[in-house]
Every structure is written in C-alpha cells, then in structure tokens.
Amino acid sequence: GSADVDCDVLVLGGGPGGYSAAFRAADLGLKVVLVERYATLGGVCLNVGCIPSKALLHVAAVMDEVSHLKSAGIDFGAPQIHIDQLRGHKDKVVGKLTGGLAQMAKMRKVTVLRGLGSFVGAKHLRVEETGGAGQEKTGKQQVVQFKRAIIAAGSEAVHLPFMPKDPRVVDSTGALALAGVPKRMLILGGGIIGLEMGTVYSTLGARLDVVEMLDGLMQGADRDLVKVWQKMNAPRFDHVMLKTKTVAAEATPEGIKVTFAPAEEGGSAPEPQTYDLVLQAVGRSPNGRKIGAEQAGVAVSDRGFIPVDIQMRTNVAHIFAIGDIVGQPMLAHKAVHEAHVAAEVIAGELLGDEKLAKAAFNARVIPSVAYTDPEVAWVGLTEDQAKAEGIKVTKGLFPWAASGRAIANGRDEGFTKLLFDAETHRILGGGIVGTHAGDMIGEVALAIEMGADSVDIGATIHPHPTLGESIGMAAEAAHGACTDLP
C-alpha cells in the first residue's frame, strides 16, 4: 500500500508509558514500531524528570545528612561544590538508563523510529525524521501503517505567558540542566516538582522563595504530613507566599523582577522581588493537541487530554492512549501500568487470546511521593478527604520519636499515619513523612489492594529496628492489641 513500514502496534512516544507498552507488546509476540522525536528513549521521566531529579536529590540528601552528623561528633567542614562534575554525574546516571532502554528495545526487536509523529489517517502515522540533540527535522519522512496504535506522547511544562524569554527563567528541564547556583531563587508553584528542585538548589547554596496560589504547599498530601516537612524546611526559605499569584515579570540587569498579587480579594501580597533564577513549576500540559489526533478521529479534550476507558481505549476502537496524556495523576508508575493494560488488550485481540483481551486498569490506588528531605509519601484516602466525604475512619498514628531506628538515625521528626474504615477496620489510606517514606509507601498500597485490615497489618512481623516497623505499629495503634485468630 502507501506505507513504508507495517506493524501490528504503533507506539507514539518513548517515555515510561511508551517503552513499557512497546516492550510488553513485543514480549507477547507482536511486531512493534516505537516512534520518539528525541535521540534517547525514556521520555520526560528518564531524561528530564524522575531520574535526573533523584540523582541530584540523593546528593543533596547526603550533604544534608552529613551536616546532621556534626552533633554526633563528625564534622566534614563546608562542602566544596564542583558544579560541572555534579552535572556530569547526573548525565551519567541518565545515560546508563537510556542506554539500557535502547538495548532492551533491540533485544526485543522493537523498531525504534526517530522522528516527529503525526496521524494522517485512522491507520497511518507520518514520521518526520529528526536529528541532532533536539528535534530538528532532517527533511526525510516515512509513513507507518498499523493495526493498533498506542498514544503515549506525554506532557510538557506549562509556561506563564508573561514570563520573559531569559536564561534566568527556567522550567524543570532548565533547572535540571544545572547551569549554576543562584543566590536568590523563586519557585513558582508549590507542588512536588518545584519543591524537589528547590531542595537541590537550596542545599547547593541558593536562598528560596516560593509562591503558591492555593493555601498550602504540596497539595494533595495530608496536611499533618506537610506540616512536618515545612517545619524541617523552613530554614531554606526567605518567603513562603501562599494564596498569592505571580502577575508580571521583567528581565533587568540585576535579575528577574517579579510582581505578586493576592489570589483572593481582600488578601495582601508582598512587594516585587528580584531573583537570580525563577523556576516555573505551575503544572504540566498534555500533548494531545500536537499529534494530528483529529486525522485519526481520536477525541481530545480542550485541555489536550485524550479520554480513555478502563482498557485504555480511546473513542476509536483500535487506538489506545496511556500515561500523562490521558490525565492525572501524571506519574511514571501510573503510565507503566496503563501501558501493560493497553499492550495486553491489543495482544489479546490480535492473537485471539480472550483472557488477555479482557485486561483492564483497575488499580484501587496510586501512591504519590515528594522526594524532598524529609520525604512525604501518601496513598489512598487522606484525612481531609475522609472529612469532606463524610467517611468514618479510625486513625492509627505512630510518631517516629518512638522508633528506635529513627532515633538512631538522628531523624525522628517523622510519623506514619494509617486510616481505617471505622466499621470494617479495612485500610483506606496512609501517609508517611520522614526519611525513606517513599520506599515504604508501597507496603501501604499493597495492603489497600489486598483489602487488608488493621489486624493483618499489625500482626505482620516487621523486622526490628526498621522505619518500616512504623507501619505495623500504626495499625496496632488504630485498634489496640491485635489478636490474630488462626
């Protein structure tokens, strides 16, 4: 026909959603083409998101930890920061992982096409080849014909329209490029991404301001958890501006001069301030309007999201969508699970496997983690939500001031909080603030998925002395002694 390349499954976008879908489909025996505009696979998460931010946050956490050791009699002195080497370290971490993905694609015989993809029909995608470090077009193009497609084109940072084009104004990608360490830095938007990047820069020596429209930082997290984080992190900030909007910005020789206004009528806002670096972290916008979806008949919302059902199917029966482009929460682990569902449904349909064809995304909960110091992690119902929705819960709280391990670590500021259905005692949600909270929240997610109650969790023997013990202790605290009948 009119196509240059034929395949069973076309995957548009090589991020955590896209590569996971491509690999699963290939493992199930399908012929897969994966289209990615950039030189490396991994998408936002591996190249300019989860992984480089965690490489830098690890360094920051160790630096902060070392400074805690002063009271234990160990003084390393002031750190010497070699920013070029630090940047090189981060790039090496990213390179290891994206290189690994390329190998895995090869092993599975997934055809990776480098280029900008755009639908030109319900069964055809045009790929305009790109080259170099960015997405410059080489002028070559080809058309891929597919039986099924999975759209995994992700999202990009929102830029405020009035922000000047200036190297001192960056988004998360610019912040991760780590050009230098500013004296004064403004974080626009008090969400996870902004606060993680702020943590890195502040540990490297920057003074921080943060401005947030709503009445609290780290929206979505339990307020009690955030309170602990905020108390521990107060020394990093000169101004925490809540219920405040940014309304104008101007590039001056001294820095970026930013003007604020109250977010609510009758409120007040601080005087304009000048910064050496402004990080825009006010959210991410899906790429749904940039892939020619209308040519394939795929419906896209005004905001650029692609609606899907629980099998990740769009309004067009043979086209699926996954990851950031289908909606919140925009998290890599959500994208990966959705990817597996889409690939399995497609394999089931194309190979006539009825069981696979019934795959669906029905996770009860999706955990969230702020990899700050301390970390803040939560999953399922929060106390505020329970209140708002009139759900009767019993709370189990375990303060880390009573944890031998947390005290031994010199980090006993945290706590673990679990929420149970007041009648059935089944777990509905949980939150942890403290070091390594993110590594522990998976257990709470598992408990929710399994429908565990407070006895199941409290009677599970956790190793001593660990921070993870606090989950068992919080369960016991909710409903008293645990009698586990055989």
Question: What are the catalytic residues?
Answer: 464
Which residue, 14 or 374, is less far from ligand FAD as judged by CB?
14
Q: Which of 10, 35, 293, 455 binds ligand FAD (CB under 6 A)?
A: 35
Q: Which of 94, 291, 296, 359 binds ligand FAD (CB under 6 A)?
A: 291
Strand-pairing partners, residue 144, are 5, 125
153 binds ligand FAD (CB under 6 A): yes
126 binds ligand FAD (CB under 6 A): no
Which residue, 201 or 420, is less far from ligand FAD as judged by CB?
201
Cα(9)–Cα(350) distance, rounded to whole angstroms? 10
Site stretch for ligand FAD (CB under 6 A), options 79-87, 159-167, 326-334, 344-352: 326-334
List the x/- string, 6-25, binding to ligand FAD by CB under 6 A: ------xxxxxxx-------
Least distance to ligand FAD, CB of residue 474, Å: 24
> What own/partner pairs with CB < 8 Å and gap ≥ 24 does 297-300 have?
297/122, 298/119, 298/151
List the x/- string, 189-208, binding to ligand FAD by CB under 6 A: ----x---------------
Burial class (CB in 10 A: 0-12, 13-18, 19+), 52: buried
Least distance to ligand FAD, CB of residue 318, Å: 19
Task: Output the CA–CA distances (angstroms, integers) from residue 425 to 201, 360, 453, 462, in the order listed.
Answer: 43, 28, 5, 20
344 binds ligand FAD (CB under 6 A): no
List the x/- string, 383-402, binding to ligand FAD by CB under 6 A: --------------------
Q: Which of 28, 32, 49, 433 binds ligand FAD (CB under 6 A)?
A: 49
Q: Closest Cα to residue 377, out of 229, 275, 162, 483?
A: 229
Least distance to ligand FAD, CB of residue 331, Å: 4
Q: Letter for the amino acid at 448?
A: I
CA atoms within 13 A on the CB side of 286: 24
296 binds ligand FAD (CB under 6 A): no
38 binds ligand FAD (CB under 6 A): yes
Least distance to ligand FAD, CB of residue 350, Å: 22
Which residue, 50 or 471, is less far from ligand FAD as judged by CB?
50
Which residue, 52 or 472, is less far from ligand FAD as judged by CB?
52
332 binds ligand FAD (CB under 6 A): yes
Which residue, 16 or 380, is less far from ligand FAD as judged by CB?
16
Site stretch for ligand FAD (CB under 6 A), options 148-156, 161-169, 355-363, 418-426: 148-156
Binding site for ligand FAD (CB under 6 A): 12-18, 35-38, 43-45, 49-50, 53, 116-117, 152-155, 172, 193, 287, 291, 323-325, 330-333, 335, 371
